[in-house]
């Protein structure tokens, strides 16, 4: 049994159904959005809440987090980054990330950022072009607050202040404006480690 079969069978056993069989014939979902056509949404199928694809089909996301090329840029691996991927994150995504994720049985991407240096911030999120290079469903983190206990630059906002409202508005404008029309966007995370 390969890794893809193992993951699919494990998930199917946990759900008590066979992936790809039970959900294919499911009745249309009642969505939570006013106009969800062309986008991921939530809906009910046979009394169960599920993600619904832009095509209106039930979707069980099986993704991976912390996808980042940082390890290819260390001195011992930089030759791979430069020779194999021409120093291009887009090429790395298209030629390594996507084929490997699909081969391993994943159908989506969770959070892409990685811890860059202990006690400091995470690496940057993917750009719009990098998400497009994935050509698979994904989630994106809206960094309203970095709240990790190890984070050197954690800021604890007063959630009832004007500063907080202004910050949240800025984050929503700067991140959502670029991604809002992408049919592969499943949704947003607000924190990877809620406190």
Tens digit of each residue's pLDDT (9 = 90 or more) over 43-92: 887 888 889 999 988 999 999 888 989 889 999 999 999 999 999 999 99
Q: How many CB atoms lie within 10 A of CB 143?
A: 18
Q: Residue 1: pLDDT above 70?
A: no
**Same domain flag for 51 and 122:** no
Banded pLDDT at 29 (limits 50, 70, 90): low
| Whole-angstrom distance, CA of residue 174 vs CA of residue 166 | 12
**Same domain flag for 20 and 106:** no
Nearest CA among 146, 105, 148 for reference residue 10: 105
The segment with the largest mean pLDDT, out of 2-6, 33-37, 74-78, 123-127, is: 74-78
**Same domain flag for 1 and 68:** no
The reply to whether the predicted model has a pTM over 0.85 is no
Q: Which two tokens stand for residue 63?
A: 């993704």
Domain that holds residue 11: 1-60
Domain count, the chain: 2
CB 62 within 8 A of CB 12: no
**Same domain flag for 139 and 72:** yes
| Whole-angstrom distance, CA of residue 130 vs CA of residue 178 | 12
| Whole-angstrom distance, CA of residue 109 vs CA of residue 119 | 25
**Same domain flag for 86 and 44:** no
Give the pLDDT of residue 18.
39
Nearest CA among 174, 100, 109, 104 for reference residue 135: 109
Give the pLDDT of residue 16.
41
116-119 — which CB contacts under 8 Å span 24+ positions? 116/70, 118/150, 119/150, 119/151, 119/152
| Whole-angstrom distance, CA of residue 53 vs CA of residue 184 | 9
Q: Which two tokens stand for residue 6?
A: 């193992």
Domain boundary pick from 17, 34, 60? 60
Q: Which two tokens stand for residue 167?
A: 């910050």
Domain boundary pick from 60, 78, 109? 60
**Same domain flag for 98 and 146:** yes
Nearest CA among 58, 48, 56, 53 for reference residue 20: 58
What dihedral angle (degrees, nearest 10) is formed by the CA atoms of 129, 95, 40, 12?
Answer: -160
pLDDT tens digit sequence for 97-153:
999 999 999 999 987 877 666 556 677 788 899 999 999 999 998 888 766 666 666
**Same domain flag for 50 and 88:** no
């Amino acid at each position: 049994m390969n890794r893809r079969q193992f993951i699919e069978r494990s998930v199917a056993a946990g759900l008590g159904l066979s992936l790809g069989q039970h959900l294919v014939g499911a009745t249309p979902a009642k969505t939570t959005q006013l106009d969800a056509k062309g986008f991921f949404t939530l809906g009910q199928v046979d009394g169960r809440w599920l993600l619904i694809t832009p095509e209106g089909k039930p979707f069980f996301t099986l993704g991976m987090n912390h996808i980042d090329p940082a390890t290819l840029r260390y001195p011992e691996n930089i030759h791979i980054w430069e020779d194999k991927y021409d120093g291009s994150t887009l090429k790395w995504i298209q030629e390594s990330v996507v084929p490997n994720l699909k081969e391993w049985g994943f159908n989506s991407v969770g959070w892409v950022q990685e811890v860059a240096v202990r006690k400091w911030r995470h690496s940057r999120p993917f750009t719009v072009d990098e998400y497009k290079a994935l050509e698979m469903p994904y989630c994106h983190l809206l960094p309203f607050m970095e709240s990790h206990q190890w984070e050197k630059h954690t800021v604890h906002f007063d959630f009832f202040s004007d500063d907080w409202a202004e910050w949240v508005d800025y984050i929503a404008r700067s991140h959502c404006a670029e991604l809002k029309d992408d049919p592969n966007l499943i949704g947003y995370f607000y924190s990877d480690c809620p406190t």
